[in-house]
Amino acid sequence: MEFNWIFISAPLAAALALLFSYIFYKQIIKYPEGTEKMKEIAEAVRIGAKAYLKRQYVIVAIFFILTSLLLVFLSFVLRVQSRWTAFAFLTGGFFSALSGYLGMMAATASSARTANAAKDSLNRALRVAFRAGSIMGLVVVGLGLIDISIWFSVLHYLVKYDLRLTTVTLLSFGMGASLQALFARVGGGIFTKAADVGADLVGKIEAGIPEDDPRNPAVIADNVGDNVGDVAGMGADLYESYTGSILSSAALGASAFYASKYTLNAVILPMVIAAIGMVASIIGIFLVKSREEATQKNLLNALNRGIYGASILILIATFFAIKLLLPGNIGIFGSVITGLIVGLIIGKSTEYYTSSSYNPTKYIASQSLTGPATTILAGLSTGMISTYIPVFAVATGIIVAFWAAGGFLTPILGLYGIGIAAVGMLSTLGITLATDAYGPVADNAGGNAQMSDLPPEVRKKTDALDALGNTTAATGKGFAIGSAALTALALLAAYIEEVRGGLLRLVGNGWQFSDIVKAAGTNNTENILQWLHHATIADFMRLFAVNLMNPKVIVGIFIGAMMTFLFSGLAIKAVGKAASQMVEEVRRQFKEIKGLLQGKAKPDYATCVKISTRGAQKAMILPATSAVLAPIITGLILGVSGVMGLLIGALGSGFIMAIFMANAGGAWDNAKKFIEEGNYGGKGSDPHKAGVVGDTVGDPLKDTAGPSLNILIKLMSMVSVVVAGLVVAYHLL
Amino acid sequence: MEFNWIFISAPLAAALALLFSYIFYKQIIKYPEGTEKMKEIAEAVRIGAKAYLKRQYVIVAIFFILTSLLLVFLSFVLRVQSRWTAFAFLTGGFFSALSGYLGMMAATASSARTANAAKDSLNRALRVAFRAGSIMGLVVVGLGLIDISIWFSVLHYLVKYDLRLTTVTLLSFGMGASLQALFARVGGGIFTKAADVGADLVGKIEAGIPEDDPRNPAVIADNVGDNVGDVAGMGADLYESYTGSILSSAALGASAFYASKYTLNAVILPMVIAAIGMVASIIGIFLVKSREEATQKNLLNALNRGIYGASILILIATFFAIKLLLPGNIGIFGSVITGLIVGLIIGKSTEYYTSSSYNPTKYIASQSLTGPATTILAGLSTGMISTYIPVFAVATGIIVAFWAAGGFLTPILGLYGIGIAAVGMLSTLGITLATDAYGPVADNAGGNAQMSDLPPEVRKKTDALDALGNTTAATGKGFAIGSAALTALALLAAYIEEVRGGLLRLVGNGWQFSDIVKAAGTNNTENILQWLHHATIADFMRLFAVNLMNPKVIVGIFIGAMMTFLFSGLAIKAVGKAASQMVEEVRRQFKEIKGLLQGKAKPDYATCVKISTRGAQKAMILPATSAVLAPIITGLILGVSGVMGLLIGALGSGFIMAIFMANAGGAWDNAKKFIEEGNYGGKGSDPHKAGVVGDTVGDPLKDTAGPSLNILIKLMSMVSVVVAGLVVAYHLL
């Protein structure tokens, strides 16, 4: 087996990232946690979050065991796929869970410390919170890349799979990561939003007490939710995105450069780009510092310096990496640039549509004057309209990345370019995730400050940090959504590879396919195998009639698009149900516990945590099951063309739904904050109540259903890839 | 030119339908209009509605003139399409407008008369309202089929176009009908919902006065809106659906049976099925009667007797028509049955998800206990979840209708079967539309009764009629949505036909296409023309690479799906904006006009009508323009494969969005009514207020954006068909 020393850069960079995250953790826990009260509250949140995660992991474990039994059956009984599938699948799930867990540990360790640091200065608070975020960022990318490196080495150099088989088998690792991420996002999302909605509706609107007030029985559940949803959920989510983009590009590289002397180079290029990004992110993290008496604008500049610094480093180094690894295909560098630009455009458009500095959010706030109904209508319509810029950006990006890599001459090269564009987009993840994840830390610090009766300036500082995080998070979101679309496309191409692999396996085992005999023009098995080895994507499109007039494709598209609605509906319904139970419980406590509102009695926090937990646990099962089963059942009935329709339908509709929900939710949130700043009557006015209704409706859209859709799209693709052998062998129509 | 006498049945049946609608009109105006007050109110609504339509038609006319100039340019300067295009387009628009207008005249003539008849008995009131609805139903189908018959005769027998060219040119007539329908639905929908929302939010919630109270300044605008939106808009909408299904099937028939002795028969079969449906509908209308002291259940049975009676007659006669016209393809009868069953299933699922007799709507009502936010979340999630039954029904229907017609052996036959399934589904339109359109008449009668201070029993009776209409309307909605999906698919196939036509024209004029030379394996023009004449759909799929790994197709799908969100967003925003102006105006009048709430002063109705009119007029332009331009621009940049992606993307996403919005809106509406019946605190309670917020949010979803999406999908398809010649000749990528 050929070996290229540059590959070593991947595990080395990953180890470096993990080392730095350990160092940062050591730095953080040296900071003092503040008063006894602060420690106590932080401890309560920490215990609640750990307890919830433990329960979630039990359900996930059961689900994983069942799924791997199915995979074992497919591998060893039906023998339609590699025998490493189940094992790779399990490790993917494990490491996805681990990165969420570690990120959450860092976050829960930092909230009280951030609040305590905010007593001194804004800059000090930023340092603690941002260090916590950096741990999350580096753990996610570090674990992701090291896992891929190890699995790649095992399959290619020990098991001696060829590169095509290696990279396609690796996608079952991706399936594990995606499935775990789906549970984390959906479960965490339901938990946090049920608590948030419940706390807000009764606390803010009915009782008129401030956010994070310790008299509110749902306040601990709310803070726990931030950690299990916004931190652990986001960590698992981005672990999935990150590994997904690398794995799908690697699979395409093996295929695009099949039987050329650059095959290995093309496979390791995405890993090398990721390694470059990791080192650049670490450097970028060190660029984030500012003077002691920093203003908010200084801090924003500091963060941006880190992100842009890392991006420039990556661009320069990536250019040389491509020149070194694929000297004949330097056009792929154009794909990388395209990916970064598309991510930036989506981020800017997210900012435009969701920040109260611009018209759309101001319009929503103004509609609150005529009540909640017009507020809701304004948010829904703004969210729907806001989809057009990201769609045009991604559409243009797809064409340009495809073209730059040479796709109009050799389509598979263009698809590889699209995959690499996604890798480029996510290469800065180490630092962009840091700027994203420190937001919830600041948020929790604010909660801690409020509950520990720290002076209001402390809360003001943590709020400033939180607001700052919202701006940088918009960019992060843009990259996550954009990369999901590109990765899903690359996975679609990888699916064809696995179909090829499946057919090779079956024909090798003596199966006969009349269509293939016809297409290959021979019924000699050796020749058919040869034909399969060299068949282009266009050949496969023809073989399975994957065209838009095939009713199986069309039906697949319908079902795929419907899946995104069904899935979102289930997630939102779960939040709504749990939230209304929470509302009733909080109302009950306010009514029945005497002296609670006067601060003379303590609320019963535990019952609220229980409601969120139960709501999340029950409601995770159905969406996850349907996401796994949809591609399998569609495949068994409609075959390859139906599956491809399904995936494209889910991608087209899911990408747009995800933007719609993220932007509508973000805009409602900021419209409410805009009112709270004193516009249209300010806090406590009728427009403010309408604004809170809007924010509440937006919560599950932007934090539960929306981000889960990105995972759903990729999970369905991964499942399709993994069971491709089954579908090729057995299908009805 | 060959001629088949059976074709004569089409214009004859159409003439019969128009004759009966005239007779019904004469019958209606013989009924007395009641007291002076009743006449006065009816007259005010009539004048308002006519005035609005006149203004709308001015904008539509300008838009049509501009569009036909473009078409003339394409026909006569670029010579990429038939020279009849512009003219056919204009007549389609004209007759679509005419059927809406006539239906509205019948409706406005009947409201006071229905109210007056309701003084006597429920049955008498039903007779008047249902006669008015029947006029609408028969006018729509009669005008539709007679126009098609005339145009078909002119193009085929006078201009001597062959059948393929005739049927494809007829689709430009369909484009006119669709474009006018889009204006009618969007404009009418904005008008009516702005008024409705404004009237409800201030009248019901803030001032606490009942619906249709004459003290409410928006009440006349609300009643005018019912007529221009729910009647004229719906008429134009269904005229478009009806003609669209017939025209697209005819085009597919010409192509599926090309160069066979059954070509003409295949083309006229959809018209003959429509003729059968028309006669059966007239018979069905006469089956709708009941005893004088009818209960609501009797009346529902009476209506169902009419619908089911007509359906059975159609099934029997259609079987013989197919046996007569296409004796070798009796399997197509299976497609017709499939179409009817799919329509019924969608109807039943609509009823399940939106009727307060079932759990989903009850659940939404229960969520009103915890306020407007959870009510909104419950409706959104219910609407999203509710999409799965219709999608599975249509998906199964597509496969079965395709298979029954022989599609798995000869794809084009299967597509023809899908088209015929849509025609079968809509063949009962004469009577289903009657049961649909009488609802708004009853609604307006109720308004008239309220405003004329008739005794409350009268209002009770008209409410009973209205509620009854809601149940039968669910079936009608199922047929409209289901047929839209099937028709859009048939149009996609028709698009390929027009691409073929465009290529034949261009190659005949000496153009060279290297891809076609390669595909045909010859560069002799005669042989290329021969190849084009006989090329199958699969050949065209390959020629233009209309497969799911072509980035142009994928980008098209993204843009198509996005169009449905953008379009819905614009429509909803327009309603929200106009509604909040309405709210402010009504609030102003309540405050500034002294004695208004005490019934001592008259409100200023005219200003409210003006707000709705202005809101509708301004907001119609952008959605309509984008719907026309999207396929043209996509085609000019991405070519044929991009356009097909666009259409499939819009279909997949639009179909599902339409169901989501229709069901969410319907469920909110009925949840509110359920609360008003005394549940969860009844009228005036906090849950009721939350229910009204839900209903208000649902209004533009179910009555403006939702139904417009069906038209949007088909309009984009029709535009694509019409400009196919341009796109084939000139495109960038």
- What is the DSSP annotation of B663-685? HHHHHHHHHHHHHHTTGGG-TTS
Query: How many Cβ atoms sit within 10 Å of the Cβ of residue A327?
Result: 10
Please check whether residue A673 is in contact with residue A362, taking contact to mean a CB–CB distance below 8 angstroms: no
Query: How do residues A222-240 score in pLDDT, each as one tens digit?
Result: 889 888 888 888 889 999 9
Chain A contacts of B583, Cβ < 8 Å? 370-371, 374
pLDDT of A510 reads 86
> How close, in Å, is residue B647 to chain A by CA atoms?
10
Cα–Cα distance measured from residue A399 to residue A312, given in angstroms and rounded to the nearest whole number? 24
Give the DSSP letter of residue B330.
T
Query: How do residues A687-713 score in pLDDT, each as one tens digit?
Result: 999 999 999 999 999 989 999 999 999
Chain B contacts of A700, Cβ < 8 Å? 377
Of A370, A381, A411, the CB nearest to B549: A411
Hey, are the CB atoms on B377 and A489 less than 8 Å from each other?
no
What pTM, to 2 d.p., does this model score?
Answer: 0.94
Q: Assess if residue A66 is contained within a domain.
A: yes
Please check whether residue A147 is in contact with residue A243, taking contact to mean a CB–CB distance below 8 angstroms: yes
Per the structure block, which two tokens stand in for A456?
């209001």
Is the pLDDT reported for residue A480 higher than 90?
no
Reference B197, options B225, B160, B169; nearest CA is B225
Cα–Cα distance measured from residue B378 to residue B6, given in angstroms and rounded to the nearest whole number? 53
A&B contacts, CB < 8 Å: 274
Give the DSSP letter of residue A5.
G
Please, is B259 exposed, middle or buried when counting C-beta atoms within 10 Å of its C-beta (0-12, 13-18, 19+)?
exposed
Please check whether residue A505 is in contact with residue A80, taking contact to mean a CB–CB distance below 8 angstroms: yes
Where do the H-state alpha helices sit in A509-598? 514-520, 525-534, 537-543, 551-592
Name the residue of chain B whose CA is nearest to A395's CA.
B555
Of A373, A489, A557, the CB nearest to B197: A373
Q: Assess if residue A29 is contained within a domain.
A: no
Name the residue of chain A whose CA is nearest to B370's CA.
A580
> How close, in Å, is residue B18 to chain A by CA atoms?
38
Reference B473, options B354, B636, B323; nearest CA is B354
Per the structure block, which two tokens stand in for B427?
């063949």
Hey, are the CB atoms on A538 and B545 less than 8 Å from each other?
yes
Question: What is the band of A467 on the pLDDT scale with cuts at 50, 70, 90?
Answer: confident
pLDDT of A665 reads 94
pLDDT of A478 reads 75
Cα–Cα distance measured from residue B22 to residue A592, given in angstroms and rounded to the nearest whole number? 69
Hey, are the CB atoms on A573 and B394 less than 8 Å from each other?
no
Cα–Cα distance measured from residue B70 to residue A691, given in angstroms and rounded to the nearest whole number? 46
Distances (CA, A) of B81 to B69, B94, B634, B663: 14, 22, 18, 41
pLDDT of A294 reads 65
Chain A contacts of B545, Cβ < 8 Å? 538, 541
Please check whether residue B447 is in contact with residue B112, taking contact to mean a CB–CB distance below 8 angstroms: no
Per the structure block, which two tokens stand in for A493?
């191409």
> How close, in Å, is residue B569 to chain A by CA atoms?
4
Cα–Cα distance measured from residue B185 to residue B704, given in angstroms and rounded to the nearest whole number? 7
Hey, are the CB atoms on B373 and A542 less than 8 Å from each other?
no
Is the pLDDT reported for residue A529 higher than 90?
yes
Residue of A375, A653, A660, A732 to mutate, interface with B, max B Cβ within 10 Å: A653
Cα–Cα distance measured from residue A274 to residue A426, given in angstroms and rounded to the nearest whole number? 8
Reference A184, options A241, A127, A265; nearest CA is A241
Based on its alpha-carbon atoms, the radius of gyration of chain A, rounded to whole angstroms, reads 25
Hey, are the CB atoms on B559 and A383 less than 8 Å from each other?
no
Question: What is the band of A619 on the pLDDT scale with cuts at 50, 70, 90?
Answer: confident
Is the pLDDT reported for residue B529 higher than 90?
yes
Q: What is the mean pLDDT of residues A302-308?
A: 86
Hey, are the CB atoms on B373 and A197 less than 8 Å from each other?
yes
Cα–Cα distance measured from residue A120 to residue A112, given in angstroms and rounded to the nearest whole number? 13
Q: Which residues contact A159 (CB under 8 A, 6 or more apart)?
A: A84
Q: Which residues contact B165 (CB under 8 A, 6 or more apart)?
A: B82, B155, B501
Helix (H, G, I), strand (E, B) or coil at A355: coil
Highest mean pLDDT: which of A230-239, A549-558, B74-83, B584-593? A549-558
Angle at which helices A296-325 and A122-153 cross, to 10°: 20
Question: How many residues are recorded in chain B?
Answer: 733
Chain B contacts of A693, Cβ < 8 Å? 371-373, 376, 693
Reference A148, options A308, A263, A267; nearest CA is A267
Which H or E element spans position B397?
Answer: helix B388-404
Chain B contacts of A494, Cβ < 8 Å? none
Name the residue of chain B whose CA is nearest to A640's CA.
B548
Q: Assess if residue A9 is contained within a domain.
A: no
Please, is B262 exposed, middle or buried when counting C-beta atoms within 10 Å of its C-beta (0-12, 13-18, 19+)?
middle
Chain B contacts of A622, Cβ < 8 Å? none
Is the pLDDT reported for residue A684 higher than 80?
yes
Please check whether residue A484 is in contact with residue A524, taking contact to mean a CB–CB distance below 8 angstroms: no
Give the rounded percent of residues in chain A with a pLDDT score beyond 70.
99
> How close, in Å, is residue A404 to chain B by CA atoms?
13
Chain A contacts of B381, Cβ < 8 Å? 568-573, 576
> How close, in Å, is residue A83 to chain B by CA atoms?
29
Name the residue of chain B whose CA is nearest to A380's CA.
B569
Structural domain for A191, as ranges? 35-729
Based on its alpha-carbon atoms, the radius of gyration of chain B, rounded to whole angstroms, reads 25
Reference B567, options A381, A706, A649, A664; nearest CA is A381
Question: What is the band of B210 on the pLDDT scale with cuts at 50, 70, 90?
Answer: confident
Backbone angles phi, psi at A500, to 5 degrees: -60, -50
Selected residue with higher pLDDT from B419 and A304 = B419
Question: What is the band of B1 on the pLDDT scale with cuts at 50, 70, 90?
Answer: low
Per the structure block, which two tokens stand in for A323?
């020149």
> How close, in Å, is residue A148 to chain B by CA atoms?
27
Of A290-294, A555-559, B332-336, B723-727, the least confident: A290-294
Of A44-48, A358-362, A463-467, the least confident: A463-467
Hey, are the CB atoms on B653 and A653 less than 8 Å from each other?
yes
Sign of the CA dihedral running A676, A679, A684, A687: negative
> How close, in Å, is residue A689 to chain B by CA atoms?
10
Hey, are the CB atoms on A548 and B546 less than 8 Å from each other?
yes
Query: How do residues A67-126 score in pLDDT, each as one tens digit?
Result: 999 999 988 888 888 888 999 999 999 999 999 999 999 999 999 999 999 888 888 888
pLDDT of B399 reads 96
Cα–Cα distance measured from residue B250 to residue B149, given in angstroms and rounded to the nearest whole number? 12
Of B378, B548, B696, the CB nearest to A644: B548
Has the ipTM of the complex gone over 0.90? yes
Hey, are the CB atoms on A656 and B201 less than 8 Å from each other?
no
Hey, are the CB atoms on B367 and A576 less than 8 Å from each other?
yes
pLDDT of A302 reads 83
Q: Each residue of A145-171: b (16+ CB within 10 Å) or e?
A: bbbbbebbbebbeeeebebbbbbbbbb
pLDDT of A12 reads 96
Q: What is the mean pLDDT of residues B694-718?
A: 92
Hey, are the CB atoms on B569 and A414 less than 8 Å from each other?
no
Hey, are the CB atoms on B551 and A370 less than 8 Å from each other?
no
Chain B contacts of A402, Cβ < 8 Å? 551
Reference B447, options B42, B175, B35, B27; nearest CA is B42
Please, is B631 exposed, middle or buried when counting C-beta atoms within 10 Å of its C-beta (0-12, 13-18, 19+)?
buried
Q: Assess if residue A167 is contained within a domain.
A: yes
pLDDT of B601 reads 86
Q: What is the mean pLDDT of residues A516-539?
A: 91
Question: What is the band of B138 on the pLDDT scale with cuts at 50, 70, 90?
Answer: very high
Please state whether A653 falls in left (phi above 0), alpha (psi between -120 and 50) or beta. alpha
Hey, are the CB atoms on B576 and A374 less than 8 Å from each other?
yes
pLDDT of B257 reads 93
> How close, in Å, is residue B398 to chain A by CA atoms?
7
Of B197, B381, B565, the CB nearest to A660: B565
Helices vs strands, H then E, count in chain B = 24, 0
Selected residue with higher pLDDT from A652 and A435 = A652
Hey, are the CB atoms on A201 and B373 less than 8 Å from each other?
yes
> How close, in Å, is residue A574 to chain B by CA atoms?
9
Is the pLDDT reported for residue A292 higher than 70?
no
User: Tokens 């919170």 label which residue?
Assistant: A129
Is the pLDDT reported for residue A306 higher than 70?
yes
Number of folded domains that form chain A: 1
Question: What is the band of B292 on the pLDDT scale with cuts at 50, 70, 90?
Answer: low
Residue of B374, B402, B646, B732 to mutate, interface with A, max A Cβ within 10 Å: B374
Of A374, A553, A656, the CB nearest to B565: A656
Question: How many residues are recorded in chain A?
Answer: 733
Cα–Cα distance measured from residue B281 to residue B313, given in angstroms and rounded to the nearest whole number? 9
User: Tokens 């929302």 label which residue?
Assistant: B197
Query: How do residues A312-355 score in pLDDT, each as one tens digit?
Result: 999 999 999 999 999 999 999 999 999 989 988 998 899 899 98
pLDDT of A16 reads 97
pLDDT of A643 reads 97
Helix (H, G, I), strand (E, B) or coil at A682: coil
pLDDT of A473 reads 72
Chain A contacts of B418, Cβ < 8 Å? 551
Name the residue of chain A whose CA is nearest to B367's CA.
A580
Chain A contacts of B572, Cβ < 8 Å? 377, 380-381, 384
Amino acid at position A137, single letter: G
Per the structure block, which two tokens stand in for B636?
């000019």
Name the residue of chain A whose CA is nearest to B491's CA.
A549
Is the pLDDT reported for residue B376 higher than 90?
yes
> How close, in Å, is residue A532 to chain B by CA atoms?
18
Please check whether residue A665 is in contact with residue A699, taking contact to mean a CB–CB distance below 8 angstroms: yes
> How close, in Å, is residue B310 to chain A by CA atoms?
30
Q: What is the mean pLDDT of residues B41-51?
A: 89
Hey, are the CB atoms on B388 and A566 less than 8 Å from each other?
yes
Is the pLDDT reported for residue B291 higher than 80?
no
> How close, in Å, is residue A578 to chain B by CA atoms?
10
Residue of B186, B193, B353, B380 to mutate, interface with A, max A Cβ within 10 Å: B380
Please check whether residue A645 is in contact with residue A556, taking contact to mean a CB–CB distance below 8 angstroms: yes
Angle at which helices B263-287 and B122-153 cross, to 10°: 160
pLDDT of B321 reads 96
pLDDT of B123 reads 84
Of A372, A557, A644, the CB nearest to B372: A372
Mean of pLDDT over chain B: 91
Of B547, B572, B697, the CB nearest to A541: B547
